[in-house]
Amino acid sequence: MKRKSIRRIAIAVKEGVQETKTFQNVMEVLSRNFSLQVVNPAQYKGASSLNSVEEISAQNADLVVSLGGDGTLLAVVRKLKETIPVLGINLGGRGILNELELQDLPVGVQKLKEGDYYIEARIRLGGRIGRTHLPYALNEYYLARAGYFETPVFYINYTGQTIGSRMDGLMISTPTGSTGYSYSNGGPVIAESIEAYILSPVLPLYRIPSLVVPVSEVRAYSNKPYNLFVDGKKELQDQTEELIIGRAPPVFFLRFTPRPFKQLKKLLSENALT
C-alpha cells in the first residue's frame, strides 16, 4: 500500500560531517528533491535552520533523516519530541540501525517521493529512579557497579518475583538493543518486531542466563551504589535507589524492504567486521 509522498525533511548530522564532501553530495541530492531543515551546527544553502532536534515539528517535517552512524541515530531518537518517522543514512562504520547506504540514496529518494515505504514501530524503555524520570532507551538501560573493592549483589524483580546474585551489573534491553551491548554481553538476538525485554546479568559470579520476557514492569536495584547508562551514555552515578522500568512510547523507523534480522545480518556482514 502506497503512503504519502515525503516532501519535507529535517536533517540531523553527526558532528564534524558537515565539512566533508560526502555531506555536500548527500545534501545536494536531497535539496533537489525535498524541502529541507538542518539542525545546527550543520548548515546548508537553501535549507532553514533549527537550533536542536527538539525543535523538529510534525507541522514542518514529514521525515527526520539522521546522517551518520548508530550513535547519531540514537541521539536523534533520544531528543525527538514528536512522532515523526526516522530514516538513518549511514556515513561509515557499521550503521546497524540505519536503513540506507550512500550508494542506495538515489533509489531511496525516488521511493520517498513515490510513497513506496513502510513504517516500523520499535519499542522503547522508560524508567525512573525515585522522582527522577530517565530518558527513553531504544537499546538498553545498564546498571553497572560503581566500585571495585567488592562485587555487589544486583537484584531484578519481574512480575513480583525477585532473583539476585553477585555480578558486575544488570542490563535490560529491547529487541533493537539485542544486537548492541546485550549481544556483546552474550545475550540472545531477537527479531526487532517482537515485544519483549532481555534481562541480562553482566559477569555474574555464578552462571545465570539471560532471560527473554514479555513486556511488563521491571524493577532493578543493588546492595551497593551503581552507575546507570542509557543507550551507552552515562546518565546517573552512585545510585542507591531502585530503578523502575516500563514501556515507553515507540519509535517509528521508515523502511523500504521488510528484512527480519536485518540488524544481525548487518552486524555479521563483511563490512561490519572490518
Largest separation between any pair of C-alpha atoms in the chain: 60
Which among 62, 70, 104, 231 is annotated as catalytic? 70
| Residue 70 among the catalytic residues | yes
Instruction: Compute the distance between CA of residue 195 and CA of residue 169 in angstroms, rounded to an integer.
Output: 23
| 3-class SS of residue 95 | coil
What is the 3-state composition of the chain as percent helix, strand, coil, each rounded to the nearest 5? 20, 40, 40
31: which 3 cell numbers?
535539496
Phi, psi values for residue 53, rounded to 5°? -60, -35
**Sign of torsion, CA 133 139 145 151?**
positive
Closest CA to 192 of 126, 260, 113, 144: 260
Contacts of 153 (CB under 8 A, 6+ apart): 164, 165, 166, 167, 222, 223, 224
Contact present, 168 and 255 (Cβ < 8 Å) = no
Which active-site residues does the annotation give? 70
